Amino acid sequence: MYIVIFITCANKKEGALIAKALLQKKLVACVNIVDKINSFFWWQGKIDSAKEVLLVAKSKKTKFRKIAQLVKEKHSYKVPEIIALPIVSGSRAYLEWIDGSLG
């Protein structure tokens, strides 16, 4: 199963570091960095907010455990967002490209 993984990061530098590490280990085929997002969330019993960047990574479900482990090792947050959604459909050529990129 193909997946899209969302990972929020404190800044672009941290996001790029995590993206490159995931790519070098062939855990993901592609990572988009969406800059300057405003996040609102519950933290320690109150509503908080932060300026963040969002990583949008494409991979396969079989790689998720290793993706999450690597992100946790390199991330500055105590509880980083690492969530995966299934890709229910996609162009055959793109999905084949994901397969080829992951080795």
Residue 71 domain boundaries? 2-102
Question: What is the arithmetic mean of pLDDT over 67-74?
Answer: 98
What's the angle, vertex CA 57, arms to CA 51 and CA 59, rounded to 5? 160
Question: What is the arithmetic mean of pLDDT over 61-82?
Answer: 97
- The CATH number assigned to the domain holding 91 equals 3.30.70.120
Exposed/middle/buried for residue 64 (C-beta within 10 Å: 0-12, 13-18, 19+): middle
- Overall pTM > 0.85: yes
Question: What is the arithmetic mean of pLDDT over 45-64?
Answer: 98
Under the banding of pLDDT at 50, 70 and 90, the label for residue 103 is confident
**What total of structural domains would you count in the chain?**
1
User: What digits encode the pLDDT tens for the residues 3-49?
Assistant: 999 999 999 999 999 999 999 999 999 999 999 999 999 999 999 99
pLDDT for res 25: 98
